[in-house]
C-alpha cells in the first residue's frame, strides 16, 4: 500500500514537471508570436506617411435636365490619406514602380457644403439626398494599382482605384482613375473624375414641384475632384 502511494506520488511529480515545462514552452512561444506581431504592425505603420486634407480642395457634381445643365460644388473635402513612404512620385519616370502598400484613404464631404448658387435648387438637392438623416457623403479606398493608361514622362502618375462610396445612407462600389502628384512642400494632390447614378444610391432624380414636375433631371452625375493634402505634423 505504501509502495503504491509512493509510486503514484512520484508519477504525479513527473507529470507536474512535464506540465510546467509544456506551459513554459507554450508561454515562450506565445510571447514570441506577440512580439513578432507587434514588430510587424510597427513596421507596417512605418511604411506609410499620413497626409491630411487642406484648404483649396474642391469637388464638383455636373448633371443635366430637360431644361438646362447644372453644377454644384463644395470647397470642403475632409479626411486623410496614408501613403507609402518610400514610393517615388517622380513624374519624370515613364514607368513608375508598383505600389508595395495599398494606401489608406478615408474622405467625407458635408452635404450642406454642396452649393449651386441657387437656394431653391440647393433645397431640392438636400431633400433628395436626405441630408437631415445622412449629412455626409463618404468614401473609403479598398484597392489601388498603377494604371495601365498610357502616360508621358512629366505627367502626374495615375492609379486605378476601387473603393466604397456612401451617399444618402447607401454604400456602393466605385472605380476610377486617380492622378497623384507632389505639390508645394509636403503636399500631395489627387485628381479624379467618375460618373455615378443617383438611382444606385436610392435617390430619385429631382422633379421640383415648383415646376409642376415638368423639370426632369437625368440620373447620371459626373463627379470631379481635386484633393489637396499635406503631411501630418
Residue 102: phi and psi, rounded to 5, are -70, 125
203, 218: one domain:
yes
- Give yes or no: residues 178 and 137 share one domain: yes
pLDDT in tens, the chain (233 residues): 444 444 444 544 544 455 445 455 554 544 444 444 443 433 444 589 999 999 999 999 999 988 889 999 999 999 999 999 989 888 887 788 899 999 999 999 999 999 999 998 999 999 999 999 999 999 999 999 999 887 787 889 999 999 999 999 999 999 999 999 998 889 999 999 999 999 999 999 987 665 555 678 899 999 999 999 999 98
Residue numbers of the domain that contains 154: 48-231
Please state, in angstroms and as integers, the Cα–Cα distance from residue 41 to each residue in 32, 45, 46, 51, following that order.
Answer: 14, 6, 9, 19
* Cα gap 176→173, rounded to integer Å: 10
Q: What is the CATH number of the domain that holds 73?
A: 2.40.128.110
The verdict on 92 and 9 lying in the same domain is: no
Q: What is the pLDDT of residues 9-43, one digit of tens each?
A: 454 454 445 544 545 555 454 444 444 444 343 34
Place of cell 470631379: 224
The answer to whether the beta carbons of residues 160 and 145 sit under 8 Å apart is yes
66 and 134 in a common domain: yes
Q: Tens of pLDDT along 96-113? A: 889 999 999 999 999 999
The domain total for the chain is 2
CB contact set of 60 (below 8 Å; sequence gap of 6+): 71, 72, 73, 223, 224, 225
pTM, whole model, 2 decimals? 0.77
C-alpha cell at 9: 506520488
Amino acid at each position: 500500500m505504501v509502495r503504491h502511494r509512493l509510486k503514484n506520488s512520484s508519477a504525479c511529480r513527473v507529470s507536474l514537471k512535464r506540465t510546467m515545462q509544456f506551459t513554459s514552452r507554450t508561454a515562450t512561444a506565445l510571447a514570441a508570436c506577440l512580439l513578432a506581431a507587434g514588430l510587424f504592425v510597427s513596421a507596417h505603420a512605418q511604411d506609410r506617411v499620413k497626409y491630411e486634407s487642406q484648404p483649396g480642395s474642391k469637388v464638383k457634381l455636373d448633371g443635366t435636365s430637360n431644361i438646362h445643365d447644372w453644377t454644384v460644388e463644395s470647397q470642403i473635402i475632409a479626411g486623410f490619406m496614408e501613403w507609402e513612404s518610400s514610393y517615388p512620385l517622380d513624374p519624370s519616370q515613364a514607368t513608375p514602380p508598383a505600389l508595395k502598400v495599398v494606401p489608406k484613404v478615408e474622405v467625407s464631404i458635408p452635404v450642406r457644403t454642396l452649393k449651386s448658387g441657387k437656394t431653391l435648387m440647393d433645397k431640392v438637392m438636400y431633400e433628395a439626398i436626405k441630408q437631415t438623416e445622412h449629412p455626409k457623403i463618404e468614401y473609403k479606398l479598398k484597392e489601388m494599382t498603377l494604371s495601365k493608361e498610357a502616360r508621358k514622362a512629366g505627367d502626374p502618375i495615375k492609379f486605378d482605384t476601387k473603393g466604397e462610396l456612401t451617399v444618402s445612407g447607401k454604400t456602393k462600389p466605385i472605380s476610377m482613375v486617380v492622378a497623384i502628384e507632389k505639390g508645394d512642400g509636403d503636399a500631395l494632390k489627387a485628381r479624379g473624375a467618375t460618373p455615378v447614378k443617383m438611382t444606385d444610391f436610392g435617390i430619385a432624380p429631382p422633379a421640383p414641384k415648383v415646376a409642376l414636375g415638368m423639370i426632369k433631371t437625368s440620373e447620371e452625375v459626373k463627379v470631379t475632384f481635386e484633393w489637396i493634402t499635406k503631411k501630418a505634423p
